[in-house]
Chains A and B, each alone.
Chain A
Amino acid sequence: EAGVVQSPRYKIIEKKQPVAFWCNPISGHNTLYWYRQNLGQGPELLIRYENEEAVDDSQLPKDRFSAERLKGVDSTLKIQPAELGDSAVYLCASSSTGMNTEAFFGQGTRLTVV
C-alpha cells in the first residue's frame, strides 16, 4: 500500500512568488494534516482536515497561506506571496478517525525562498 505522497520533493522560488504543495493521503484516511518544520525544530501544525472540512486552521497564516481538500481526498497548500521566512519543510500526514490511531507522514516538501 502506498504511503502519504507529497510533491514536489524540493522547491526553490524567489520571494514574492506563489508556490503550491500537493498531498495524496493514504486511501481511506479521513484526517489530513499539514505541518511546517523549521530547521532544528519539531513539526508545527498548520491545518487539520476531517474529510473536506478544515476543523482547525488556527495556526495557518491566513494572509498568505491557503489550503483546500476537494472531495476529502487530495489536498493542496498554497503560499502567495512567499517570504524568506517561509523556507521550511512542509509535511503532510493522514490518519483514520479515532484516538487509538497513528498518523502517517509523507517525505515532505523542502521549500527554499531566495
Chain B
Amino acid sequence: DAKTTQPPSMDCAEGRAANLPCNHSTISGNEYVYWYRQIHSQGPQYIIHGLKNNETNEMASLIITEDRKSSTLILPHATLRDTAVYYCIVRVEPHTGGFKTIFGAGTRLFVKA
C-alpha cells in the first residue's frame, strides 16, 4: 500500500554527497513524490517534493526520472546531523477526497565521520 521501495539502510562519509534511491513504479500521473526524514525521537520533517522536474532547496535536491518510476534524494554535503530515517512517499489521492500520505519503512542513513 506504501507504493514505494527503498533500501533499508545506507552509509555515507561526512562531507560527501548522500544519494538515496526510491522506486515508485506504480505512480500515477498526478501524484507527487515527497521526501521526509525522521531524526531519533522526533516527528517526521518535510524535506522536498516534486512532480516531474528536478527540484532543489536549501536542504536537498530531488532527481526524478523521466518515466517517473524512480527518484533520488541528494544531500550534497552530508553532516553527522543528517543521520536519520529517510522516507520516500507518493501522495495518494483516495476516493474519499483529500490526499493521503502513506509511509513505508524508509532508509536509515548513517553519516560517519
The interface of chain A, by Cβ under 8 A from chain B, is: 4, 31, 33, 35, 41-45, 48, 50, 55-56, 91, 93, 95, 97-100, 102-108
Contact = CB atoms under 8 A, between A and B. Distances in A.
Interface in B93-113: 93-94, 96-106
A103 B104 CA distance: 16
Given A43-B44, A91-B44, A105-B45, A50 B97 contact: yes
B49 interface: yes
A56 B101 CA distance: 12
**Which range holds the interface residue count of chain B?**
20 to 34
A105 B98 contact: no
- B46, B87, B91, B99 pick with most chain A CB within 10 angstroms: B99
Interface of B: 2, 30-32, 34, 42-46, 49, 51, 85, 87, 91, 93-94, 96-106
A44 B34 CA distance: 16
Contact of B32 (A41, A42, A55, A99): A99
A93 B91 contact: no
Contacts of A102: 34, 46, 49
Contacts of A108: 42-43
